[in-house]
Chains A and B, each alone.
Chain A
């Protein structure tokens, strides 16, 4: 098994507002990200696929094909867009980087028939990124909250 990662960039704007919360709660939770005029980022997207190396071509995936699918399915949809207003899914999903990574997975997974999608990594800034490994990961590794009982500073 080998993993290949292709990187791409897009620029988009968004703001955070949850209809489940009051205006005051929205302001408190999201701070300046709640400004309805939005703000933008240069997002860096890394798409990782996995598979076996084709003995004839020496490749795990045709990179040109991967690049084309990423451009058509993701970049053309998201680049230079106001996510809340111009990308339909974000009319009812808050366009946090967490949700954006999950949506990018969904945009790609059914179109990447020639390889197996492994991970979406999305940088909002160089200091903040999220990873999504698809819906199967939650079944493989159920989230158990960090245990409090071992939370004493260790004596060494």
Chain B
């Protein structure tokens, strides 16, 4: 029997600061590109991150993924890593600018790299990471070769 494919989305949040500055560019150009986000003291956001898992519903459990597993992974790998930090100081951003675009891709990669720690999601895939920087700005990443967007 064909199994139904369901997308489950869980939402988390953390607070962090960043400064958008690319050391390979001259100061003037950094100011021109990043404007007030280039302010040397940095500034912060409450980031809301949504993680979407797509997969068949396990007929024994009724679940796409065990939420307790997903929450525990998000807590240790995302929230504990990024919450109340200055993103520029983290190893994740040693060689990239901590724009919300790059942070979104980084969170996707962390989930993908740790997927084996979610045994209940063995039949499922990471569908999307959506990251809100403010209520007006958000970014989505679906990996390098995403499934067709519905």
Q: Tell me if A129 is interfacial: C-beta within 8 Å of chain B.
A: yes
Complexed CA–CA distance, A135 and B126 (Å): 19
**Known contacts A95-B62, A98-B62, A98-B63: A146-B115 contact under CB 8 Å:** yes
Complexed CA–CA distance, A105 and B108 (Å): 29
Contact, CB under 8 Å: B7 / A135: no
Contact, CB under 8 Å: A129 / B9: yes
Q: Which of B7, B115, B123 has the most CB of A within 10 A?
A: B7
Contact, CB under 8 Å: B6 / A153: no
Complexed CA–CA distance, A97 and B67 (Å): 12
Residues on the A chain within 8 Å of B122, using CB: 145
Chain B: which residue is nearest A21 at the CB level?
Answer: B60
Q: Which of B62, B66, B113 has the most CB of A within 10 A?
A: B62
Residue in B55, B61, B112, B125 whose CB lies within 8 Å of A94: B61
**Known contacts A126-B11, A143-B56, A146-B115: A18-B5 contact under CB 8 Å:** no
Residues on the B chain within 8 Å of A152, using CB: 113
Contact, CB under 8 Å: B148 / A141: yes
B93-134 interface mask toward A, CB cutoff 8 Å, 1 = contact, 0 = none?
A: 001100000000000011011111000011111100000000
Complexed CA–CA distance, A143 and B121 (Å): 11
Complexed CA–CA distance, A125 and B116 (Å): 27
Chain B: which residue is nearest A140 at the CB level?
Answer: B148
Contact, CB under 8 Å: B5 / A138: yes
Contact, CB under 8 Å: B6 / A132: yes
Q: Tell me if A119 is interfacial: C-beta within 8 Å of chain B.
A: yes
Residues on the A chain within 8 Å of B11, using CB: 126-128
Residues on the B chain within 8 Å of A148, using CB: 115-116
Contact, CB under 8 Å: B7 / A130: yes
**Known contacts A128-B9, A131-B7, A143-B124: A137-B150 contact under CB 8 Å:** yes
A79–chain B nearest beta-carbon distance, Å: 21
In the A-B complex, list the 10 residue pairs whose CB atoms are closest, starting with the nearest: A94-B62, A96-B62, A131-B7, A138-B5, A127-B11, A151-B113, A141-B147, A20-B60, A146-B115, A146-B126
> Given known contacts A137-B5, A156-B95, what 10 new A-B pairs fall within 8 Å (CB)?
A95-B62, A102-B57, A131-B52, A133-B5, A139-B2, A145-B123, A146-B112, A146-B126, A153-B113, A155-B95
18 inter-chain pairs at a CB distance below 8 angstroms, sorted by A residue, are A21-B60, A93-B62, A95-B62, A96-B57, A98-B57, A127-B11, A128-B8, A131-B7, A132-B5, A132-B6, A135-B2, A141-B147, A143-B56, A145-B121, A151-B112, A151-B114, A153-B110, A155-B95
B residues neighboring A (CB under 8 Å): 2-12, 52, 54-57, 59-64, 66-68, 95-96, 109-110, 112-116, 121-126, 144, 147-148, 150
